[in-house]
Structure 1
């Protein structure tokens, strides 16, 4: 790839992290009750759902001491193998529904948002720094490099350093590639449990992304009921 072209693509992805260090209040996983989650999996989804959650818990335990790149690979492969892609309309009978990790694992189905959310939460539980993770909306090129058709898509981006080329976790492919290598993706906006960045803005939004993304706020609330609670903490 020509250096200038690679640099231009990288700048699209680096936009998300400029200024986000100014966030003064973060949200971290707390009040985590995986035993409750296990119980709910059995009640709602039967033995198969409970077994999937058991495998997930074991994976989290086994990868705690691995480096971040190994954690990314294990988590990406776990969800890409356990879950099958289906549209929200097929799964939930709704045009757009963000599932909790329990719902995704229980049904073993999800769309791109569900994959990204499940991977994000799992990596937090595995000890990955929240500042390195961004759930990112992108425009995905469909039909090859010369196609002019772009569909809305969601991926999880990992920034090893604030100015690093992010690694992209995608439900479409198992291989984790750098953002500059994903010629088919154009980032639109990114968020996590700390804040929201909108492409083209001069400064990031420092508000809770739930204030902008009602579905994000809703899924956080439902995750808390499943045993994955959140609480604010000052850094």
Structure 2
């Protein structure tokens, strides 16, 4: 964990002088908004993410998975009620980068959408709700399918290593979705659901994301 923090700090410092030296009008509009709401360090995190996305463009999918998982796993886990003052708030990736803290859904959504932006097809990715037995609570992870028939690999903020689903016996799948389709998982599962209202939270989240909504967190970020 300490090495991961050092890596993030080094990445931020690498772009710090460029970002701080640039006049405000030179910064991308999204980055300016992040700085206004979350502070200068949020602008550096955004630039580090953009730099990483550029470096990963066109690279092997396994490398993309590893680096995106590593980048977001450096952020701090905190409950929605503490960060946003709401129960089960789905932060957009920009809100998550801005606050640098959130709960399992925020980690999973940021990874899922970053991987989609890198060109990994929706058919190879799912957001999976699981029961985390170590925490005795519901949890969200990203599943990556190398092929439709493959055992998925799991990207998770609880464990930094990307492992096949069979190696994560601490996670009991409940249901999964990819923004287009919804499946019931678990014993006797794997059945596709046609209940469109079940995707309402995803649709509301996407609407906020597309509108560029950025909410200010209740908790001030604690830098490493």
Is residue 2:95 matched to residue 1:103? yes
CA separation of 1:202/1:51 partners in 2, compared to 1, >3 Å: closer, same or farther? closer
Is residue 2:100 matched to residue 1:114? no
Structure 2: how far apart are the matches of 1:40 and 1:188? 37
Q: Which position in structure 2 is the counterpart of 1:132?
A: 124
Q: Deviations over 1:81-105 (max 9, x none)?
A: 1x10000011011121110001111
Following superposition, the deviation at residue 193 of structure 1 comes to 1.7
Please, what TM-score do these two structures have when normalized by structure 2? 0.77
* Gapped regions of structure 1 (runs ≥ 5): 1-33, 144-149, 228-235
Higher RCO structure, 1 or 2 (CA under 8 Å, sep 6+) = 1
Following superposition, the deviation at residue 205 of structure 1 comes to 2.8
* Gapped regions of structure 2 (runs ≥ 5): 1-26, 214-224
Following superposition, the deviation at residue 215 of structure 1 comes to 2.3
CA contact (8 A) 1:40 1:226 kept: no
CA contact (8 A) 1:104 1:114 kept: yes
Is residue 2:57 matched to residue 1:64? yes
Q: Which position in structure 2 is the counterpart of 1:141?
A: 133
Candidates 164, 167, 187, aligned match of 2:150: 164
CA RMSD of the aligned region, Å?
A: 1.9
Q: Which position in structure 1 is the counterpart of 2:192?
A: 204
Candidates 78, 83, 86, aligned match of 1:86: 78
Q: Which position in structure 1 is the counterpart of 2:20?
A: none
Is residue 2:39 matched to residue 1:51? no
Task: Tell me which protein shows more strand as a share of its residues.
Answer: 1
Is residue 2:159 matched to residue 1:173? yes
Following superposition, the deviation at residue 142 of structure 1 comes to 1.5
**What is the number of equivalent residue pairs in this alignment?**
185
Once the two structures are superposed, the pairs formed by residues 15-54 of structure 1 within 5 Å of their partners are: 35-54=28-47
Following superposition, the deviation at residue 66 of structure 1 comes to 1.2
Of residues 175-184 and 40-49 in structure 1, the stretch that sits farther from structure 2 once superposed is: 40-49
Runs of 4+ in 1 over 6 A off after TM superposition: none
Following superposition, the deviation at residue 202 of structure 1 comes to 7.0
Candidates 188, 194, 212, aligned match of 1:226: 212
